[in-house]
Amino acid sequence: MTWLVIVLLIIGGLIFLILELLVIPGTTVIGIIGFLLISVGIWQSFAHGVTQGAISLIITLFISIIAVYFSLKSNTWNKAMLHTSINSKVNTESQKLNIGDIGLSVSRINPSGKALFNNQYFEVSSLGHMIDENKKIEVLKINSSKVIVELYKEDEKNRNL
């Protein structure tokens, strides 16, 4: 193999390893491919002689350490990082609901879904059973931001278990 191919194998392997460390979580095929590319590159450099192989091994280790250092440096990834936070809360309007209020299931509640009460949409949960959409439902319990509903008693005979 020519030196150009060996250098391309080692650089490609380093790129794959850095992607494995920083972008793709877990031990995946990308990391294994990167390690194999570096190994083949160094192995092929030893085919040109022990001195050239040792030099390429030392240079590869040095470049690897520098690449990992700069890629893990905090300022490197601040440009790509999302700097916003979520400040919203779920069902902050649930204080406007009362136990016994009647509404309409907008989506299937299995065991969670969306419902319409007083022209406002709420995220609701059932007690474990499924409630189809467009069914009358009743507020059974309100625990902080969680609204528990059940099928309205008139429609109880139509409940799908």
For range 19-44, the mean pLDDT: 86
Domain that holds residue 33: 3-77
Instruction: Give per-residue pLDDT as tens, 10-25.
Output: 999 999 988 887 777 6
3-class SS string, the chain: CCHHHHHHHHHHHHHHHHHHHHCCCCCCHHHHHHHHHHHHHHHHHHCCCHHHHHHHHHHHHHHHHHHHHHHHCHHHHHCCCCCCCCCCCCCHHHHHCCCCCEEEECCCECCEEEEEECCEEEEEECCCCCECCCCEEEEEEEECCEEEEEECHHHHHHCCC
Same domain, 24 and 62: yes
Same domain, 56 and 122: no
Same domain, 24 and 72: yes
CA distance 45 to 39: 10
Which pTM was predicted? 0.47
| CATH code of the domain covering residue 120 | 2.40.50.140
For the record, the structure tokens of 131 come out as 């409630």
Query: According to the model, what pLDDT value does residue 134 have?
Result: 92
Same domain, 9 and 70: yes
Q: 131 or 27, which is more confident?
A: 131
